[in-house]
Amino acid sequence: MYKKLHNWLIDTSLKTKLLLFNCLITLFIGISSFLAVNIFMKYNEELLYNTTASVLTFFSSEIGNSFDSMTTSSSVLIADNTIQGSLYDLKYSPSSLKTAVSYRSLYNSILSYSYTIPHVESICLYTPTSTIWSNNHQSSLSVSQLEYIKEYTDEQKGSPCFLVLDKYNNQLVLARQIRRIAGTNLEPLGTLVIFINTESLIKASTTHNTFDDCSYILSADAKTVYRSDAPTPENTFDILNDSYKVIPFKGHYYFVLKSMIPGYGWEFECWMNYDKTHGSILMGHMLFLLALACCIILSLLASGVLSQNISKHIFALVKKMKTFDSESDVIPQTNYDYSTRKDEIGIVHRNFDAMAREQQRLIRDNYQAEMLMKNAQLKALEQQINPHFLYNTLESINWLAKSKHETEISKIVESLGNLLHATLDSRSRMIPLEHELELIHNYITIQEFRFGDRLKFHLSIEQELSHIPIPKLSIQPLVENAIKYALEEIADECNIYITILHTEQLIYIYVKNDGSQFELGLLEKLRANPKNSRGFGIGLINIDTRIKLTYGENYGLDVYNENNKAVARISIPFIQDEMN
């Protein structure tokens, strides 16, 4: 049976094959139409998501920025001298007069902060002996809840934490332990609890929304912190598993997006009314199916008429393809003029001719491009400089100077060779501190021959720091700057001091010189106008940027003036493991 069908398909006419093919295509289009419409709907959803996702991400960032701002404000509050002193008096001087004064001082302070910190409903200071509120929230929060907050913040040891109070209508609070700043033991003085107005926070963060009829949900750890007044399901955690979804609810359709609050891991959802868009998509779905059906019918009717006239043009096309395949440098020609024919046959023939011309052009262009690339590579190879040639030349000069007992020239050449070798060596960006100091000694040796007794160099280093790794060429440019501005522009003597010491957490590298001064606020000006930085300004930014990229934003370069000396100070972390 299969063999007979196979032979029939082979022997049947091209017209029959075309009719059969069109029937199969019709069946295939009918089956795939449903999938096509679904893909179309999915595409519209993706388009809407891409349009709104950036807006939602901006809203989420605004909420995160508000959290950061509250955290910063809470740090200012707990470090307030008045609050610190009053809490200390309550704990260690419990006289009735001092207690009354401390209560009043604490109340006035937190009341003032409650008006300056955005989105705050109330502020509470909780101590083992008293509870102080900025307004009348005390009637709504039990002592057990305050104890729970205190125990939780005690575990965090002063770090800020956002909590959702289940028994208080999922109230969002910012809580942290207050520790005594004066002294070294950081003893606990009390607990700070800031009640956050989530409605004010969400409205302020979404004030630039350009979409109509949107609702918002803010949640943390499967707890809803905020929900708009518009109707939304009570529990959306099991409904929304993806970044977006179309959800039917109470006779309406909603386009729901989910985003994460950066730095906090909280979920922020936006529920947009999707009724109009959903109706438009359904209408497009119906119109698409109708147009598809019309196309199928017309294709079946036209296939019978056109199939007779198609076969000869297909044969002509096949012949052209075979000719071009064997002789790609020649575009095949036929006796029929397809340039004026507007049907598919004409389009296919014209496109094939255009494709053939384009392929010939690409072959020609690619060949020329490859030749130009090879020539460029050869020229680049010819222009490369081998640093070993420079090292060998300096070694030859050094040998010649030694043979003629020119010790000063030999010393200069040897220092220059060491300096160039360290500068051009790109194998590692981190070197031991002692290697950086050797590089500086070589540089100073060269400069001493130039300036003589006018240059005085002093080095003081804690011996155990000699092996710590630092970014290469982070100190030498500072010494070079000191010489440039203190010796080249004046005729007096210049003292350059390098002092390296450490504390429990930091290593400080000082480069000081007399005879010059740093411009006030130099680094800030260079950062504000990097395009205007020239010469050593670029070097300062380079050193500061490399240190920050290596160790973090808390470290870097500072420049200032002290006791008629220009001071450049590098700060990096002191890690005990590096000493071992």
Cα–Cα dist 547/475, whole Å: 11
Q: Does domain 80-201 have CATH number 3.30.590.10?
A: no
CA 449 to centroid of chain Cα atoms: 49
Scan for tokens 């950081």, then name that residue: 186
Question: Would the pLDDT of 378 be above 50?
Answer: no
pLDDT tens digits for 532-569?
555 556 778 888 888 988 898 899 999 999 998 899 99
CA 23 to centroid of chain Cα atoms: 54
Question: Would the pLDDT of 140 be above 50?
Answer: yes
CB atoms within 10 A of CB 179: 18
Cα–Cα dist 311/554, whole Å: 77
Mean per-residue pLDDT, 153-180: 85
Question: Would the pLDDT of 52 be above 90?
Answer: no
Question: Would the pLDDT of 281 be above 50?
Answer: yes
Joined tokens for residue 14: 């091209």
CB atoms within 10 A of CB 150: 19
Q: State the pLDDT at residue 557.
A: 92
Tell me the sheet residues that pair with 219: 224, 267
- Per the CB < 8 A criterion, the answer to whether 150 and 126 are in contact is yes
Q: State the pLDDT at residue 380.
A: 40
The burial class, CB within 10 Å (0-12 / 13-18 / 19+), for 330 is: exposed
What is the percent of the chain with per-residue pLDDT over 90, rounded to a whole number? 11
> At residue 392, what are phi and psi to the nearest 5 degrees?
-65, -35
Q: State the pLDDT at residue 385.
A: 44
What lies within 8 Å, CB to CB, of 334 at 6+ separation is: 316, 319, 320, 349
CA 404 to centroid of chain Cα atoms: 61
Choice among 17-21, 284-288, 432-436 with the minimum mean pLDDT: 17-21
Choice among 122-126, 243-247, 445-449, 560-564 with the minimum mean pLDDT: 243-247
Q: Which CATH architecture has domain 431-573?
A: 2-Layer Sandwich (3.30)
- Per the CB < 8 A criterion, the answer to whether 471 and 512 are in contact is no
Of the candidates 213, 193, 6, 181, the one whose C-alpha atom is nearest the C-alpha of residue 85 is: 181
Choice among 152-161, 210-219, 299-308 with the minimum mean pLDDT: 299-308
- What separation in angstroms does the CA of 504 have from each of 460, 572, 576, 577? 19, 12, 9, 13
Kind plus residue range of the DSSP H or E element containing 566: strand 565-573
433-451 vs 476-486: helix crossing angle, rounded to 10: 20
Q: State the pLDDT at residue 509.
A: 95
* Averaged pLDDT of the chain: 78
Q: What angle do CA 553, 559, 561 make, to 5 degrees?
A: 150
pLDDT tens digits for 212-243?
778 888 888 778 888 877 666 666 555 556 66
Question: Would the pLDDT of 379 be above 50?
Answer: no
> At residue 520, what are phi and psi to the nearest 5 degrees?
-65, 130
Choice among 189-203, 262-276, 290-304, 440-454 with the minimum mean pLDDT: 290-304
Q: State the pLDDT at residue 174.
A: 92
Of the candidates 496, 564, 510, 566, the one whose C-alpha atom is nearest the C-alpha of residue 536 is: 566
Mean per-residue pLDDT, 142-155: 84
Which of 360-364, 383-387, 462-466, 567-571 shows the highest mean pLDDT?
567-571
Three-class SS of residue 141? coil
pLDDT tens digits for 493-535?
888 999 999 998 999 999 999 888 888 888 888 877 765 555 5
Question: Would the pLDDT of 389 be above 60?
Answer: no
> At residue 156, what are phi and psi to the nearest 5 degrees?
-80, -10
Q: State the pLDDT at residue 393.
A: 55
Of the candidates 252, 310, 11, 253, the one whose C-alpha atom is nearest the C-alpha of residue 244 is: 253
Joined tokens for residue 216: 């918002």
Choice among 92-106, 406-420, 565-579 with the minimum mean pLDDT: 406-420
Kind plus residue range of the DSSP H or E element containing 216: strand 214-220
Of the candidates 109, 165, 160, 176, the one whose C-alpha atom is nearest the C-alpha of residue 142 is: 165
> At residue 28, what are phi and psi to the nearest 5 degrees?
-65, -40
> What does the radius of gyration of the chain's CA atoms come to, in whole angstroms?
39
Q: State the pLDDT at residue 556.
A: 92
Mean per-residue pLDDT, 233-257: 71
Q: State the pLDDT at residue 363.
A: 73
Mean per-residue pLDDT, 341-359: 79
What lies within 8 Å, CB to CB, of 190 at 6+ separation is: 87, 125, 126, 127, 177, 178
CA 492 to centroid of chain Cα atoms: 50
Confidence of residue 381 (pLDDT cuts 50, 70, 90): very low
Q: State the pLDDT at residue 532.
A: 55
Cα–Cα dist 551/468, whole Å: 13
What is the percent of the chain with per-residue pLDDT over 70, rounded to a whole number? 76
Which of 44-48, 175-179, 376-380, 400-404 shows the highest mean pLDDT?
175-179
Q: State the pLDDT at residue 448.
A: 82
Mean per-residue pLDDT, 35-58: 74
More confident residue, 183 or 78: 78
Q: State the pLDDT at residue 126.
A: 87
> Domain boundaries in the chain?
80-201, 327-375, 385-427, 431-573
Residue 429 gets which letter from DSSP?
A: S
pLDDT tens digits for 86-105?
888 888 877 777 788 888 99
Read out DSSP for 470-495? EETTSSHHHHHHHHHHHTSS--S-EE
Cα–Cα dist 203/214, whole Å: 12
Cα torsion 194, 200, 202, 204: sign: negative
Q: What angle do CA 522, 488, 500 make, to 5 degrees?
A: 60
Cα–Cα dist 119/162, whole Å: 14
Mean per-residue pLDDT, 64-73: 92
pLDDT tens digits for 465-487?
888 999 888 898 898 888 888 77
Confidence of residue 65 (pLDDT cuts 50, 70, 90): very high
Mean per-residue pLDDT, 271-282: 79
